[in-house]
Amino acid sequence: CCRPRDVPWLPEQLGPVELGIDMGAGGDETVIRERRGVVVGREWRFRERDSVKATARIVEAINQSQAAVVKVDAIGIGWGVVGSLREKQSQGLHRAQVVGVNVSEASSNPARFKNLRSQLWWEVGRQLSEDLAWDMSGLVEADQERLVSQLTAPKYSTDSAGRTVVEPKEETKKRIGRSPDNADALLLAYFSTPRTRVRWL
């Protein structure tokens, strides 16, 4: 999951800036993860039940990072936050493209994955890790360890149709003793859809 610091990345591998946002629910943290091309960047974390205040915190992170694309977990409170962020963009308070991602929706490869969440965790979480397609070397050791432990925590199975299924988030949470919010935000940061106009490297 890490690339040695002495191996330089090409300029085209270091942009644009994207943010993945896993919205906290039920007391969990909201986690914002920055992606600068292949490089895993900063993380913002906070607990905020008020969606207006949560939106304001996210706008701060967008402007600090100068993000071009923001991908938000649109389930639950996230749906309203997506709308609020788009409104803030139209008001000129930030310049990022806002993409709502509902992981309970159908996969873009329904013959292989039960839903988008399974596809996200398999293709981004597993495949990009195996391909060393992201660089965590700039993170402190504790942050690296937290991400790696969460990325490797979920269990996978195969349904009756032969599709890959990742276990529910609550099952992972029970096993590791906390919600894998940091990994969810990271996966959203690296998730690519036609709407984001950004390809995986």
Question: pTM here?
Answer: 0.88
Q: Give the model confidence (pLDDT) of 104-132 as tens digits.
A: 999 989 999 999 999 999 988 887 777 77
Token output for 147:
């991400």
- Which has the minimum average pLDDT: 4-8, 52-56, 167-171? 4-8
Spatial CA neighbour of 72 closest among 37, 96, 90, 53: 96
Task: Tell which phi-psi region holds residue 107, choosing left (phi > 0), alpha (psi between -120 and 50) or beta.
Answer: beta
pLDDT at position 201 is 31
95 has a pLDDT exceeding 60: yes
Contact between 132 and 1 (Cβ < 8 Å): yes
**Beta-strand runs (E) in 91-182:** 97-101, 156-158, 164-166
DSSP-assigned beta bridge partners for residue 31: 22, 45
Would you state the pLDDT for residue 9?
A: 57
Flag whether pLDDT at 197 surpasses 60: no
Residues in the chain, total: 201
CB 124 within 8 A of CB 196: no
pLDDT digits (tens, 9 = 90+) for 76-90: 889 999 999 999 999
Q: Are 76 and 61 in contact (CB under 8 A)?
A: no
Mean pLDDT score of the chain: 87
Strands (DSSP E) found in the chain = 17-22, 30-36, 39-46, 69-73, 97-101, 156-158, 164-166
Is the Cα dihedral 129, 15, 191, 176 positive or negative?
Answer: positive
Band of residue 17 on the pLDDT scale cut at 50, 70, 90: very high
Percent of the chain with pLDDT over 90: 60
Rg (CA), the chain: 16
Residue 200 pLDDT: 33
- What are the φ/ψ torsions at residue 94 (nearest 5 degrees)? -160, 170
Task: Give dist(CA 155, CA 201) in Å, integer.
Answer: 26
Task: State residue 53's pLDDT score.
Answer: 93
| Residue 37: per-residue pLDDT | 86
Chain-centroid distance of CA 50 in Å reads 21
